Structure 1
Amino acid sequence: MKKRIICGSAAILLTGLSAAMFSAAASRSHEQAAPAIETPRQVIETVVVERGRYLARTAGCNDCHTPGYAGSGGAVPETNWLVGDSIGWQGAWGTTYPINLRLFMQQLTPEQWLIVARKPARPPMPWFALRDMTDQDLLAIYHYVRSLGPAGEAAPSYLPPGEVSATPVVKFPG
């Protein structure tokens, strides 16, 4: 019997609170517009993009693909993230440059990205880290990078072994 009384009292209390909230909201509606309500799809997209942002930061994407990121301890505005770099990485394989992911991702479908992300890449790209990620993680990175929009210029092209770079390089012994 006590459970019914408690449940009934709770229902009356909740009904009263709900009525008070709707009444307060209605009285304020003349003063200001109610905030937009996100659809479930928008909420999912926001969660996916935030997951991609987290993964891009923690997987070290910015360390190479964002100029000045590693040297500044990550103190680069997000608007400048993942635009590639002109500092080359030179070793026995030649000279590679961190590509501009913001331009690159705009050219790919999600399906194409999953294929590209799992293919071996020239050093020092840790392609095996991407290979070992789940499809959901890779797609989160994809949607995050695309959400940033295109920015910056294309990075210099790969140079075969023996060709001299016109930009600074980090040399690997080899």
Structure 2
Amino acid sequence: MFKTALIIAAATISTGAIAQDAEVSVANGERISIIGGCHDCHSTNYAETGGKIDPATALKGNPVGYSGPWGTNYAVNLRLVVASKSEDEWVPYIKTLQAGPPMPWFNLHVFTEAESRSLYQYIKSLGDPGDPAPERVPPGQTPKTPYIVFAPPVMPQ
């Protein structure tokens, strides 16, 4: 019974069903940053503290890389990205963004305009942008920072 209800509910949800007139606010942006998983990678020590947001480091990127066949990618400093754009530039930016693994960039494409604007306002409210995250390391090169191997084992033929 429960599984059936869950499947039916999930099947009826579409991006068109999401309210387009949600309030644009810093508070909504903070909520979106949490449920959207932004802090999971872009805020150091977020997972280690059980989801506590440290305003001093929130969304400033992460020096721990994600390494795989693509090389090593780092969660960028979102405060710097926001500092380089106006709110009106941010909305189409995240609607069309494509990024390397493991960033689920395609999830950003379903944000409503209100969600995008709220996220922008929240990130902007965090203050000093800080420094950039480390640069991407190409395949075959060893990163100089800590990194997580983020690649599946060889699959059987």
Output the TM-score relative to the length of structure 1: 0.69
User: Aligned pair 1:90/2:99, yes or no?
Assistant: no
Deviation at 1:133, TM superposition (A): 0.9
Return the alpha-carbon distance in structure 1 between the equivalents of residues 103 and 32 of structure 2. 16
1:162 alignment counterpart: 140
1:31 alignment counterpart: none
Q: Deviations over 1:86-119 (max 9, x none)?
A: 0001111111111111122111112321232122
The code of the aligned residue for 1:150 comes to: D
2:3 alignment counterpart: none
User: Aligned pair 1:105/2:119, yes or no?
Assistant: no
The code of the aligned residue for 1:67 comes to: T
Return the alpha-carbon distance in structure 2 between the equivalents of residues 99 and 172 of structure 1. 17
Q: Any idea what SS the aligned residue of 1:80 has?
A: coil
Higher relative CO (CA 8 A, sep ≥ 6), structure 1 or 2? 2
Give every structure 1 segment of 4 or more consecutive aligned residues whose post-TM-superposition deviation is greater than 4 Å.
none
Q: Any idea what SS the aligned residue of 1:78 has?
A: coil
Return the alpha-carbon distance in structure 1 between the equivalents of residues 94 and 53 of structure 2. 25
Q: Any idea what SS the aligned residue of 2:83 has?
A: helix
Q: 1:116 aligns with which of 81, 89, 93?
A: 93
Q: Structure 1: which 5+ runs fail to align? A: 1-45
The code of the aligned residue for 1:114 comes to: V
User: Aligned pair 1:141/2:119, yes or no?
Assistant: yes
User: Are the counterparts in 2 of residues 106 and 150 from structure 1 also a CA contact under 8 Å?
Assistant: no
Root-mean-square deviation (Å): 1.7
The code of the aligned residue for 1:173 comes to: A
Output the TM-score relative to the length of structure 2: 0.76
Q: Structure 2: which 5+ runs fail to align? A: 1-22, 153-157
User: Aligned pair 1:51/2:28, yes or no?
Assistant: yes
Query: Rg larger in 1 or in 2?
Result: 1
Q: Deviations over 1:114-169 (max 9, x none)?
A: 23212221111111111111111011101110111223321001111112100011
Return the alpha-carbon distance in structure 1 between the equivalents of residues 92 and 138 of structure 2. 24
The code of the aligned residue for 1:160 comes to: P
2:130 alignment counterpart: 152
